[in-house]
Structure 1
Amino acid sequence: MILPDQAALFVDGRYTLQAAAQVDAALFTCRHLLDDPAPRWLETVLPPGARLGYDPWQLTPDARERLHRTGDPRGVVLVACPVNPIDLLWADRPAPPASLARPHPTAWAGRDSTAKRAEIAALLQARGQAAVVLASPDSVAWLLNIRGADVPHTPLALARAVLHADASVDLFLAESRVSPLLVEHLGPQVRRHDPEALGGLLDTLGERGKVVRVDRSRTPAWIHDRLEEAGAGLVVAEDPCLLPKACKNATELAGARAAHRRDGLAVTRFLHWLAETAPRGGLTEMAAADALAGFRAQDPSLVDLSFPTISAAGPNAAIVHYRATPATDRLLEPGQIYLVDSGGQYPDGTTDITRTIAIGPAVPGVRRCFTLVLRGHIALARARFPKGTTGSQLDSLARQFLWAEGLDYDHGTGHGVGSFLGVHEGPARLNRTGNGIALVPGMILSNEPGVYRENAFGIRIENLMAVQEITPTPEGATRPFLGFETLTLAPLDRSLIEVGQLRPGERAWVDAYHARVREAHAPHLEASARAWLEAATAPL
């Protein structure tokens, strides 16, 4: 938020330490996005009758409504800016994406685009809706089985689309980015337009009095307002691609398991290398991240990392989304712990894993904290819950042991993960606030509790899990029950576990998990790495 005489940056708990270190305090004050949200701050700094500008392409109708409610009692007016002033100042702005969009084969997607379009179109027909605007590129990617290279580490083509009740689609993607192969893949029911033509189609829908579905939480205000001004009948409802995209089909789940086995093998090789290399000294965060990327690159199916690797030693690990730079690059030194959060993009799946490793002998206080985090991770991984349970109802399972010791972490416990799409995907998540979305079989979510001490250390343990039905149904159950299948396969650092703190069931879980890791990877490792893995996964 930028005002004539002051400005503020709003971040959640993942970025508070980074913001304090990287933002010029003389220009911006840093505020907590949830504890001190922007609307509350505006109430204290905007004078009555102020005009607050916004970019209608960067703000959703829901976000705008929250600001409007803040300013309305004092006559504050929200003004849509035809040009974002930052665009006028951005002299070295990169060129727009120019790569070709490409088909995502049914062999990986599990369902062809025709079937997906028919399913969503039938939903529109049943509800009397003529069309839905798909403003999110990930929804377009899922619906049409296309991928791209427009976003770093996320295989998206920056496209928008309108799906009609007859299952036809208007796709807004520059013709220069459409290959003959993609034309054949899309078929005759998908009409292609340059992105600038979107406004004209919205006008046509309005002029014909069509009922159009819009997700106010994911659609730019510009699109919503253009439809409204053109006379369309707007139906506010969630993007109909969100839930089916999140519920992976059998092919996507099989692909996720295969991708995680390969990815876990790369991480296991890296952990063996780290155990040999770090004690010699001289290893930095950036060098370790490069080495991990090299182990992943040995898999010819790797397309990209799924996000920039978080390679953090000692106090840097307390910065939740830390990114090593030449200015911050630390040595991995004895007595420290090292946190590495990383993932890969493969055509059959997206991975995300965090491991915390002791460099040399582990400090007892750190071992205690690691074990509390591990117990919460295990509690969530072992959870059984009735159908209809939401992520917010499960979040405290991962925090309970930390809470008992007066500890907590200021981020969610888990986020959804796409299938060769975004490493962060909705609509389900595991956090305290929640959004009322029930967990459904096929969803893939992260399990990543942690604990952080500023200027000291950070600990996080992350595996990905798939929601699955519990079969057979527990005796006496009054409705179906669900649980989790852990997909990620890489060793935990046994030296950080205080075995005496674990209950028998928790200890059994670690041993069973490590047995799975050993069974998956030992046959593919050379002798020295196999011997290391046998020791790293030995029963507690």
Structure 2
Amino acid sequence: MKKNYEYLCALRKVMKEQGIDACIISGTDPHQSELPPHHWRGREWLTGFESENGTNGTVVVTQDEALCWTDSRYFIQAESQLADTGFKMMKEDGPEAVDLIDWVTEHTNSGQTVGIDGMTFSVSYAQRLQQELNDNGVKLNTDFTPFDIIYPDRPERPKNKLFVHDEKIVGQDVDSKIEAVLKEVKGELANAILISALDDLAWVTNLRAAGDINFSPIYVGFLYLDEKGSRVLFIDEEKLSKEVEQHLDKYHITTAPYDSVKDFVSKLSKDTRLLLDPQKTARGIYDHVGCTPVFGGDGVAKLKSIKNQTMISNLETAMEKDGVALTRFFMMVEKEYPGGKLTEVGLGKALRALRLSDPSCVDESFSPILGWNAHGAIVHYEATEETDVAIVGDGLLLVDSGGQYIYGTTDITRTVALGTPTQEQCHDFTLVMKGHIALSNAVFPAGTTGHQLDVLARQFLWKEGKAYYHGTGHGVGYFINCHEGPQNIRLNINPTPLEPGMITSNEPGLYLEGRYGIRCENLIVTEKYETTEFGEFLHFHPMTLFPFDLRLFETSIMSAEEIKWVNDYHTLVRERLTPLLTADEAAWLAEKTKELK
């Protein structure tokens, strides 16, 4: 058995000592972050199911069972990493899905106690859990913090310095953002707000940090705002430089210790109506609120999702820089591939170096996914020294990567053939691209949601009995998180409409376990198309600038409109990138963007 089994035994001992019959451990932090700092990644340490990109997983442990729930993106990875740990993988989506809370209620009895760390579960999740448990006479303890005992080498909370994100690049100052947020607060019949989500916090304050969160320049803290003018940033003071202190003073934002937030909300005046987003606020904070809580959407995510023209223009600059780095990367791949010395890990390091050679690129936006053949079928594959393979023979290389530029966040996936592709690979690639093109070409009335458009990307795969089970598109931040809401494009119903200024990914795929994976991703911005007697219509414009592999298109199953889209897009790529390239690079790009017939 792996070392993780010892950790599991230690956890069960603590549970027994504290009267906990079952515990639930999340994979997040007090801010409900997708990528929590390592201080809060105890679930990964406990189970061994981990990744630099973070993993979606929630654990349930009893004295007899140890289960780890995850979604379809991670099934293959979880099965492998959980082997010999004492943990069993459970599927949270797909035909074999089991609801975690249903499982817990079915496996606990009246009078027993379930333990959670309330600071790592949202109010909404904990409320549903508590209701289900109460119905069965089971108690919920929200102060169960076993990692304080069993995790002796737990990393400290991040203490990285903050820096100001220049308002000339952002296009909006902090005062106007706070004014917009408080307008949303008033609309929810509240007079104060506690902002917990770290990307929302970074957006409102125009502050960033390098290193708090892997691959995202956001920082750890909370922000309280109210209509009386109080503005309090809860943060570890070691993180503040003189420049940042001056920035905070300029906008009348005071500071308080990070750990004082619970005491602060417990002492708010009774006439305070504190707006809390139940999906973003930790149950452990809510339990201390001494005023009237108001549950509702805080509006910050919506404000953040709509990029102004300054941001969009700057993001175009970031895309050009990204396109140059990718051109140099794939040129290198083609040149070195015949020598048989390329590896997945080596390619990841090379791509990172090329991006970071531009001074405006602070970091990657996630750990790159470089999957050769069978590894490409693992949706969130991460090459390590243990899994690394050489890029030899014929096959498909899937490269999903991105950069955190001060001008914006990029995220792109390309699948390329090395050697000679098979007819089946070309056919599958073209099915995926037909879906990508259909979504790219969509024209739709204002008010349309991503859920209503999602089928456009899946239709051609479905017609042949094929499918992918991840979302087609996610929102993308502006030098914040690579993944952001509230909009998305996926099968699940999401009431948020797509609006002008929203940046969203378009990334259909197909994955044949043990063989190869295909994903084709651009970032697209929603724009106004036209206004007619029937109302306003919108469409998408591609932001990403890099060609798709012409060798993989099966033109016999493509329409004239689809072929035209590819040629028009490649013309755009060539026109935007060529002035930034050397003569050799420009010649290579010209070959990769030649007319598809």
Give distance in 2, aligned partners of 1:465 and 1:131. Answer: 35
Q: Aligned pair 1:152/2:214, yes or no?
A: yes
Q: Residue 258 of structure 2 aligns with which residue?
A: 195
Residue 487, structure 1, aligned to residue 538, structure 2 = no
Task: For residue 513 of structure 1, report the CA deviation from its aligned partner.
Answer: 0.6
Query: Contact conserved, 1:209 with 1:233, CA < 8 A, in 2?
Result: yes
Residue number among 230, 234, 238 corresponding to 2:293 in the alignment: 234
In the alignment, which residue of structure 2 is the partner of 1:61?
A: 123
For 2:76, the equivalent position in structure 1 comes to: 17
Do residues 403 (structure 1) and 462 (structure 2) align? Answer: yes
- Select 1:530's aligned residue among 577, 586, 595: 586
Call closer, same or farther: CA 1:115–1:433 in 2, change over 3 Å: same
Quick one: which amino acid aligns to residue 209 of structure 1? D
- What is the alpha-carbon distance in structure 2 between the residues aligned to residue 166 and residue 349 of structure 1? 33
Q: 2:507 aligns with which of 448, 472, 476?
A: 448
**TM-aligned CA deviation for residue 40 of structure 1:** 2.5
Matched, 1:102 2:158: no
Aligned partners of 2:323, 2:118: CA distance in 1, in Å? 42
* Residue 174 of structure 2 corresponds to residue 113 of structure 1: yes
**CA distance 1:200–1:65, shift in 2 (3 Å):** closer
How far 1:394 moved relative to its partner? 0.9
Partner residue of 2:91 out of 10, 13, 32 = 32
1:62-101 aligned at under 5 Å gives the runs 62-81=124-143, 83-101=144-162
Mark the runs of 5 or more structure 1 residues left unpaired by the alignment: none
Letter of the structure 2 residue corresponding to residue 416 of structure 1: G
Q: Report the CA distance between 1:516 and its aligned residue.
A: 0.8
Aligned position for 1:183: 245
Provide the C-alpha distance between the structure 1 equivalents of 2:464 and 2:63, rounded to a whole number of angstroms: 45
How many angstroms apart in 1 are the aligned matches of 2:411 and 2:188? Answer: 38
Report if aligned partners of 1:131, 1:165 keep a CA contact under 8 Å in 2: yes
How far the C-alpha of 1:315 sits from its partner, in A, is: 0.5
Query: Is the 2:184–2:298 Cα contact (8 Å) retained in structure 1?
Result: no
Residue 307 of structure 2 is aligned to residue 248 of structure 1: yes
Counterpart among 347, 354, 375 of residue 288 in structure 1:
347
Percent identity over the alignment is 36
Q: CA RMSD in A?
A: 1.4
2:188–2:296: 8 Å Cα contact kept in structure 1? no
Instruction: Give the match for residue 273 of structure 2.
Output: 211
Unaligned runs of 5+ in 2: 1-59
**How far does residue 477 in structure 1 lie from its aligned partner after superposition?**
4.5
Aligned length: 532
Cα 1:51–1:332 change in 2 (3 A) is same
SS in 1 for 2:469: coil
Q: CA shift at 1:121, angstroms?
A: 2.1
- Partner deviation per Cα, 1:339-376 (whole Å, 9 max, x = no partner): 01000001110000001011101011111110000000
Task: Go from structure 1 to structure 2 and tell me whether the alpha carbon gap of 1:76 and 1:376 turns closer, same or farther (over 3 Å shift).
Answer: same
Residue aligned with 2:89, SS: strand
Judge conservation of contact 1:118–1:167 (CA < 8 Å) in 2.
no
Aligned to 1:168: 230
Task: State which drifts further: 127-136 or 101-110.
Answer: 127-136
> What TM-score, normalized to structure 1?
0.96
Q: CA deviation at 1:337?
A: 0.6
**Aligned residue number for residue 485 of structure 2:** 426
Displacement after TM superposition at 1:292 (Å): 1.2
Correspondence list, 1:322-341, <5 A = 322-341=381-400
Aligned partners of 1:69 and 1:454: how far apart in 2? Answer: 39
Q: Find the residue that maps to 2:62 and give its secondary structure.
A: coil
Partner of 2:24 in structure 1?
none
Tell me, in whole angstroms, the C-alpha distance in 1 between the residues paired with 2:184 and 2:552.
51
2:511 aligns to what SS in structure 1? strand
Counterpart CA distance in 2 for 1:352 and 1:127 is 34
Question: Which secondary structure does the structure 2 equivalent of 1:523 belong to?
Answer: helix
For residues 187 and 453 of structure 2, the distance between their equivalents in structure 1, rounded to whole angstroms, comes to 34
Deviation at 1:193, TM superposition (A): 0.5
Q: CA deviation at 1:244?
A: 0.6
CA distance in 2, matches of 1:126, 1:26: 49
TM-score of the aligned structures, taking structure 2 as reference length: 0.87
Alpha-carbon separation, structure 2, partners of 1:154 and 1:129: 31
Return the alpha-carbon distance in structure 1 between the equivalents of residues 353 and 262 of structure 2: 45
Q: CA deviation at 1:5?
A: 1.0
Alignment of 1:363 onto 2:422 = yes
- Contact 2:109/2:137 (CA < 8 Å) preserved in 1? no
Deviation at 1:85, TM superposition (A): 0.4
Amino acid across the alignment from 2:355: R
Counterpart of 2:252, as a letter, is Q
Aligned equivalents of 2:133 and 2:319: distance in 1? 48
Could you tell me which of 131, 135, 147 is aligned with 2:192? 131
Paired residue secondary structure (1:96): coil
